[in-house]
Amino acid sequence: MIKLSPITAEVKVKTVDKIDHKLLYYLHYNARTPLSKLAKNIGISKQNLNYRLKRLVRLEVIQNFMTVIDIHRLGFLTYRIYLRYKNVNEKKEQEIINYLKNHKNVLWLVSIIGSWDLEIVFVARNYIHFNNIFKKIKEDFGAHFSKYNISYTIVNYHFKRDYLINQRREGFSQKYYGFEPKQEYIDKLDVRILLQLSENCRQSNQEIGQKLSVTYHTIKNRIMVMEKKQIIQTHRITINLNKLNYHYYKALIRLNNPTKEEEKKIYTFCSQYNFVTYLVEIIGEWQFEVECEVENQNQFIDFLRKLRNHFPELILDYDMIQITKEHKLNYFPTAEETLKQMG
C-alpha cells in the first residue's frame, strides 16, 4: 500500500518524464494494479517503479487513490450547483470552501474562473432531500452568493487520460456514474469496504481484511460482486494537473432539442479527442458539459470551434470555465451516514 506521506528515500529521476506519464496513465486506468504488473506494462524494474510511484506521491503529483463508485446504484441522485460569490474576501472564501469540503453530501468541490466561482456536486436521496440540504447552506452563507445555478446530473462518463501517453482513442469506451437510481443490495460490510476503497484504493485485500476483521478471500469476493453489479466502476488516481503543466477546462453547452442519435454522435465526436476526460449529461439551463485537460487555453478553444462547426444546428451556445483547484472528490461521501442508518 502507498502511504500518502513524505518519504526519505533518494529517487533516481529528477523530473516528471515520459515514464512517469506512462505510470500515471496506467494508475488512472486501474489504480489497484499490482506493482509487478505495472512494472511489466511500463517496461521498467519493480524497484524503479516503486521509486517513481513514491516520488510522485511525495511531490503531490498523485494526490489520492480512489474507487469510482456509481452512487446512483445505491439509491442516490446527484445534483450540481454553480455559485457566484458576493461580498467575499479571502478569509470568507476559505470558510465557505472548508464548510463544503466537510459536508457529508458533497461528492465534488472545485474553484473555477469564468461566469462562476464554485462548482459543487451533491449526493441526495431525492429532490426534497437536496432542497433541504441547499436551504441549510443558504441559511449559513446565502448572503455571500450573488447567484446560483442548479442542474440534475443524468450521467457522468469517465474516460482514460490517453493524452498522457499520446495515445489515439478508439471508440466510446468509458466508466460512469448516473442514470436512473437502482437500489442494489449491500450490507454493512460492503459499505465498510467501499469506505476503505474510497479513502485509498491501493490498499490490498489483506490490508482491508485486517482492518475489518475478515479474511482476504471475503474482501476479494465482496469486491468482485460489487464490480459485477457495477457499483464499483473502476479505481483511479487524482492528479495535480498544475504539476504536469496541464489545465482543466470545461464547456457548458446548450443543445437544440437533440435526438438520441444526435446525442450519441456528439458524445462520439468528443470522445475521440484524447484530452477529453469527462462528458456529463444534465437537466438544466444547459444540457451537456464536456471537460478537458489540455496544455493551454488555445487547445481547448480550438476543440470547441471544431465541435461547434461539426454540429452547427445542434449547438445553440456555450460558456467556457476553467477549474483552478479541486478541493474534494469522494464518490461515496455518504458512507458514514449510511453505516449509522444501518445500525
**Amino acid of residue 97:** I
Percentage of the residues of the chain whose pLDDT score is greater than 70:
93
Percentage of the residues of the chain whose pLDDT score is greater than 90:
85
* Res. 9 pLDDT band, cuts 50 70 90: very low
Looking at residue 253, its pLDDT comes to 97
Cell of 94: 476559505
Please state, as a whole number, how many other Cβ atoms lie within 10 Å of the Cβ of residue 262.
Answer: 15
Looking at residue 15, its pLDDT comes to 80
Looking at residue 183, its pLDDT comes to 81
* Res. 182 pLDDT band, cuts 50 70 90: confident
Mean pLDDT for 239-258 is 95
Locate cell 524497484: which residue?
A: 47
The answer to whether 320 and 248 have CB atoms below 8 angstroms apart is: no
Residue-wise pLDDT tens digits, 267-313: 999 999 999 999 999 999 999 999 999 999 999 999 999 999 999 99
Cell of 117: 466561482
* Res. 29 pLDDT band, cuts 50 70 90: confident
Locate cell 455518504: which residue?
A: 334
Looking at residue 184, its pLDDT comes to 86
The answer to whether 30 and 227 have CB atoms below 8 angstroms apart is: no
Looking at residue 7, its pLDDT comes to 32
Higher model confidence: residue 241 or residue 3?
A: 241
* Res. 10 pLDDT band, cuts 50 70 90: very low
Please give the Cα distance from 278 to 291 (Å, whole number).
5
Cell of 58: 511525495
Residue 164 exposure: Cα atoms within 13 Å on the Cβ side? 21
Residue-wise pLDDT tens digits, 98-132: 999 999 999 999 999 999 999 999 999 999 999 99
Give the three-class secondary structure for 85. Answer: strand
Could you tell me the pTM of the whole model? 0.90
Please give the Cα distance from 217 to 206 (Å, whole number).
8
Q: How far apart are the first and last CA of the chain?
A: 30
- pLDDT for 139 beyond 90: yes
DSSP string, 273-338: STTEEEEEEEESSS-EEEEEEESSHHHHHHHHHHHHHHSTTTEEEEEEEEEEEEEEE-S-TTHHHH
**Amino acid of residue 205:** N
Mean pLDDT for 144-171 is 92
Mean pLDDT for 147-167 is 93
- pLDDT for 174 beyond 70: no
- pLDDT for 176 beyond 80: no
Mean pLDDT for 122-151 is 96
The answer to whether 78 and 72 have CB atoms below 8 angstroms apart is: yes
Mean pLDDT for 227-243 is 94
Among 297, 291, 300, 304, which residue's Cα sits nearest to residue 80? Answer: 291
Mean pLDDT for 44-72 is 95
Q: Where along the chain do its domains lie?
A: 18-59, 73-160+241-329
- Average pLDDT along the chain: 92
Cell of 207: 490490508
CATH assignment of 73-160+241-329, among 3.40.50.720, 3.40.50.11260, 3.60.15.10, 3.30.70.100: 3.30.70.100
Please give the Cα distance from 280 to 289 (Å, whole number).
5
Residue-wise pLDDT tens digits, 184-219: 899 999 999 999 999 999 999 999 999 999 999 999
Looking at residue 170, its pLDDT comes to 74
Which CATH number does 18-59 carry?
A: 1.10.10.10
H-helix or E-strand spanning residue 342: helix 335-342
Cell of 137: 447552506
Inter-axis angle of helices 188-199 and 216-228, nearest 10: 90
Please give the Cα distance from 144 to 113 (Å, whole number).
17
Mean pLDDT for 87-94 is 96
Please give the Cα distance from 24 to 236 (Å, whole number).
10
Please give the Cα distance from 192 to 213 (Å, whole number).
11
Among 235, 187, 236, 230, which residue's Cα sits nearest to residue 212? Answer: 187
